[in-house]
Amino acid sequence: MDARAYRASLNDGRRVYARGERVTDLAAHPDFAPNIERTAEVYDRFEADPEAREAFFTPPTTIEGMRHHAALHVDSATHTTYSSLMTLLTAADRIAAVRPQAAEAVAAYVAMVRDKDLRIAECITDAKGDRSRPPSQQEDKDAYLRVVERRPDGVVIRGAKLHISLAASSHELMVIPTKAMKPGEEDYAIACAVPVNAPGVSIVNVLNAAPPEGSDPRDFPFANQRAVPQGFVIFDDVFVPHERIFLDGEVKQAAVFAHSLGLWVRTSSMISMCDGFDVMVGLAQLIAEANGLERVDHIRAKISEMIIHSTLLRATLEASMVHAAKLESGVLAPSEIYTNAGKYHGAANYMVMVRHLLDIAGGSAITAPSMRDLENEDIGHLVRKYMGTRQSIDGAYRTRLFHAVHDLTTSAHGGAKYAGLLMGGGGLYAQNIVTRMRYDIERAKRMAFDAMGWSPERD
């Protein structure tokens, strides 16, 4: 598909809601249009360069290939599609012994998605009801998505998946269990793929990270490029044919999909966090220079600490690739322990980066006048004069930097970015569990005894 075909493909009868109303023309709606345009641009880029598309969607089999892949820049929908395909391939590999038909179903589905050049949204997080109770003991049995009917040709599913990025502007919904299931919870152990326009699917959207309507794009450089609509996806008795089912009732394997997804989503998250941390370091240095304070000790110390977090994050990303595991299919999967420890480190220290950036920038990060005020005939020259610091640092230049700091940290976009970074791919606790699971704690205990020169068996 090219950009035009992609935009047209979204007019397929899908039930999308925003601001309390049904959306009829998605590509023209202000909440969706900017994001759709970013995806459309990548469609055009790949249409002009089919080899680039092939390279992006081909799973790497070498470390060099992984590094190259990590450096490719595409929009979020294309990124999410890649991590969905990788999730399905990884999970099919891991459950082959129990559900051999999954490999065939996944292979056919992956081929179909690539053939038709579709985009996939990842539907994992259930409504979950009372968090202290498992799916089968919820007052409302639909709190976790489940199979409500079995037919000779497939199943009928009911439930809701929440906070689903880009659901409304994708073509396919990859539906997988959010957690491990126990015997008795077979109906909840369902993984499948559903077209966005399937009868019974409705998506209610929120875009709380958008710049204020009518604002100057220079005042919100990040929100303008990156705000992502989040979908509340309702599956109200949706039929799924057999060929689109990847797991059905195998409770022991229910968590495999979420773990596989966690790995790929956290890897994507790490890649964008690494770039994001470097952007924050760069912005801190630019604003320090614009303020005339780049040589001051405490400013340098803060930027050094930011550099250390940024470097450690990149080091874990690098380690996750160097220690990648080879799947049956020959595809390399990033190392789980480094991916999870790195994602945790980045998300847990994000606010330190924000704190230093704001502290270095000063109050104008929140109160700088709009770029349009700087252009106002009556007052603009005075605003520019007082926003400037010295001859080489003109007021407009410095003001624009402040808007970037504001938008990255304290605007609606900044807040939503932090929540997304913290919660996307599961909150800190999710990375905590996997890191601990993959860490060799027995080896650490042995090392502690060795370090003490003490062998409990001997003395």
Choice from 131, 295, 390, 443 touching ligand FAD (CB under 6 A)? 131
Q: Is 319 in the site for ligand FAD (CB under 6 A)?
A: no
Contacting range for ligand FAD; rule: CB under 6 A; set: 119-127, 245-253, 289-297, 301-309:
119-127
Specify the residue, 164 or 408, whose C-beta has the smaller distance to ligand FAD.
Answer: 164
Nearest approach in angstroms of CB 172 to ligand FAD is 13
How many chain residues bind ligand FAD (CB under 6 A)? 19
Specify the residue, 310 or 431, whose C-beta has the smaller distance to ligand FAD.
Answer: 431
Which residues 6+ apart lie within 8 Å of 361 measured at CB? Answer: 284, 287, 291, 401, 402, 405
Is-contact 190 245, C-beta < 8 A?
yes
Nearest approach in angstroms of CB 128 to ligand FAD is 5
Nearest approach in angstroms of CB 130 to ligand FAD is 9
> By CB under 6 A, what part of segment 209-238 binds ligand FAD?
230
Nearest approach in angstroms of CB 443 to ligand FAD is 28
Cα angle at 31 between 70 and 414, to 5 degrees? Answer: 55
> By CB under 6 A, what part of segment 407-426 binds ligand FAD?
419-420, 423-424, 426
Nearest approach in angstroms of CB 187 to ligand FAD is 19
Residue 384: its H or E element: helix 380-387
Specify the residue, 145 or 361, whose C-beta has the smaller distance to ligand FAD.
Answer: 145
Specify the residue, 276 or 369, whose C-beta has the smaller distance to ligand FAD.
Answer: 276
Q: Is 282 in the site for ligand FAD (CB under 6 A)?
A: no
d(CA 160, CA 129): 11
Choice from 1, 40, 92, 124 touching ligand FAD (CB under 6 A)? 124
Residue 424: its H or E element: none
> By CB under 6 A, what part of segment 37-76 binds ligand FAD?
none
Nearest approach in angstroms of CB 420 to ligand FAD is 3
Q: Is 35 in the site for ligand FAD (CB under 6 A)?
A: no
> By CB under 6 A, what part of segment 148-177 binds ligand FAD?
161, 163-165
SS3 category, 176: coil
Q: Is 141 in the site for ligand FAD (CB under 6 A)?
A: no
Is-contact 235 161, C-beta < 8 A?
yes
Q: Is 262 in the site for ligand FAD (CB under 6 A)?
A: no
d(CA 230, CA 123): 11
Choice from 128, 182, 242, 323 touching ligand FAD (CB under 6 A)? 128
Residue 96: its H or E element: none
Is-contact 193 172, C-beta < 8 A?
yes
Choice from 9, 101, 125, 225 touching ligand FAD (CB under 6 A)? 125
Specify the residue, 386 or 429, whose C-beta has the smaller distance to ligand FAD.
Answer: 429
Nearest approach in angstroms of CB 7 to ligand FAD is 22
d(CA 29, CA 22): 11
Nearest approach in angstroms of CB 394 to ligand FAD is 36
Question: Pseudo-torsion of CA 416, 421, 425, 428, nearest 10°?
Answer: -110
Choice from 31, 93, 122, 407 touching ligand FAD (CB under 6 A)? 122
Q: How far is CA 173 from the centre of its chain?
A: 15
Radius of gyration of the chain, Cα coordinates, nearest whole angstrom: 24
What Cα–Cα distance (Å) separates residue 272 from each residue in 6, 34, 347, 410?
25, 20, 12, 19
Burial class, 40, CB count within 10 angstroms (exposed 0-12 / middle 13-18 / buried 19+): buried
Question: Pseudo-torsion of CA 8, 13, 18, 23, nearest 10°?
Answer: 70
Is-contact 385 313, C-beta < 8 A?
no
Nearest approach in angstroms of CB 1 to ligand FAD is 22
d(CA 199, CA 32): 22
Which positions lie near ligand FAD, rule CB under 6 A? 122-125, 128, 131-132, 161, 163-165, 230, 419-420, 423-424, 426-427, 429
